[in-house]
Amino acid sequence: MLNKHFAVSVAMISMLFSTAACSNQSAIDTNADLEKYQEAKNPLNDSFVTNDKPAFTTKAVATFNEPWAMTALPTINNESPKLLVTQKTGELFIVNIKTGAKTAVAGIPKVAYGGQGGLGDIILAPDFATSKNIYLSYVEAGTGVDSNKFGAQVIKAKLAGLDTGQLSLREITPIWQQTPKMKGQGHYSHRLLLSPDEQYLYISSGERQEKTPAQDMSGNLGKIIRLNLDGSLPKDNPFADTNNDIAAQFWSIGHRNVLGMVFDEKGQLWAHEMGPRGGDEFNLIKKGKNYGWPIVSNGRNYSGVDIPDHDTRPEFEAPKMTWTPVISPSSISIYKAGTHNDFPAWQGNALISSLSSKALIVVNFDNDNATTERYRYDMGKRIRSVLNVDGQVWILEDGNDAQLLRLQP
C-alpha cells in the first residue's frame, strides 16, 4: 500500500511540472487527468471542484475551419439570431444560428496566416445599430526593414450589405498595431473588449514568445492596451504623463499571452493568460499594475528551469487563480440571463473555454474577488471560443471541421 501511494504521489508531482500551456495543435492533452483534478484542491484558493453541476447536451449548428472568435449581431424584428465568426485563415462569416446558413463577408484585409496568427477577434462598435461599424483584429506581415516579421493590427470598418446580403467591409480605419513587429508567429493575443460604459477599447497584446518585451516600456508587447474608440489615447491612462506615446497606451503590463478579457457584474476587468510550463493565470486587472511576466510565474520555463513564484516578489500583482496542469484558456464570457435563462446556476459566473484540457470551465467570483472553479465539463475537443448570448451559450471547437455548438440544458 505504501508503494502504491508513493507511486501515485510521484506521478502527480511529475504531472504538475510536465504540461505546457500552448495554443498549437500539439499542446499536451490534460483531459486524461480530469478525474484526478476534480478530486484535488485548487492550489491557490483551497476550494474543491464539485461534481454537482447542471447538465447539458450540445446541438451542432454549423462547421468552420480554424475558427477563432465570434460575436452576436443585434436581433431585429424577431429575425433569427446571427453570429459573426472569424476564421484564422482570413474569412469572416455571418451564420444564421437557426438554419446554420453561412454568408461570407468580402473585403477582409490580407492576413498573415501561420502559427497562432491570422484573422482574430471581432466585436461590434457601441453605435453598431446606426453605424454598422465593427472592430477587427488580425496579424499582418511587415515590409522593408520589418520583412519576415509580424504583428497584430486592429481596424474599425463598416459592415455593409446587411440589407442586401452582399456583405463587405468598407471604410476601413486603422486603430492600433503591435510595436515592434517580431519574428515568429506566436502569442499575438489581440483580444478586443469594450468598457462597460462603451467609451473605451481594450486590446490584449501578447509578448510574442520573447518574454522580456512584457517589461519593456518602449514597446506595447506583453501589455493590456486601453484606447478611446477612435484609437486616440485617454488622458487618464496610468502612463499618460510619461512623455512616451507607446507607454501612454498601457492599462497594465507584465503579461504573457492574454486570450480572454471580460468585465464582471461589478464592472471589474478580468483576464486569463497562458502560463509557460504550468501556471495558467486568472487575473483581476487593475490600472497601472505589473503582473510580473517573465520575472515571476507559477509555472516553469519549457526547459524545466524554475521561475520564481509570485509570492517571492510582492511588488507584482499575483493571480487570483492558477492552473497546473494547464488548461490553455482561449476565451471568456460572463453568463447573464436574458430572454433565455438556460443555466440559472451559472448566473454571474465566468465561462472559460480551454484548448489543452478540452473543457468548458465555470468559475465563480465571491464578494472579496476570490475565485473558485465550480464546474469543469469534458467537451472531448479543444474549445476555441465561448459566448453567452441573451442567456444561451454557444461554443466553437478548434481546428478544422470545428463545430459551432449550442449548449442545451
Catalytic residue set: 187
| Strand ranges in 185-276 using DSSP code E only, listed in sequence order | 189-194, 200-205, 223-228, 250-253, 258-263, 269-273
CB atoms within 10 A of CB 375: 21
Give the separation between CA 75 and CA 81, rounded to whole angstroms. Answer: 6
Give the separation between CA 245 and CA 219, rounded to whole angstroms. Answer: 10
Q: What share of the chain is helix, strand, coil (3-state, %, to 5)?
A: 10, 40, 50
**Cβ(122)–Cβ(135) under 8 Å?**
yes
CA 107 distance to own-chain centroid: 25
Task: List, as own/partner pairs, every contact residues 140-149 make where C-beta atoms lie below 8 angstroms and the sequence separation is at least 24, other chains included.
Answer: 140/109, 140/110, 140/111, 140/112, 140/177, 141/112, 142/181, 146/180, 146/181, 148/183, 149/180, 149/181, 149/182, 149/183
**Cβ(276)–Cβ(299) under 8 Å?**
yes
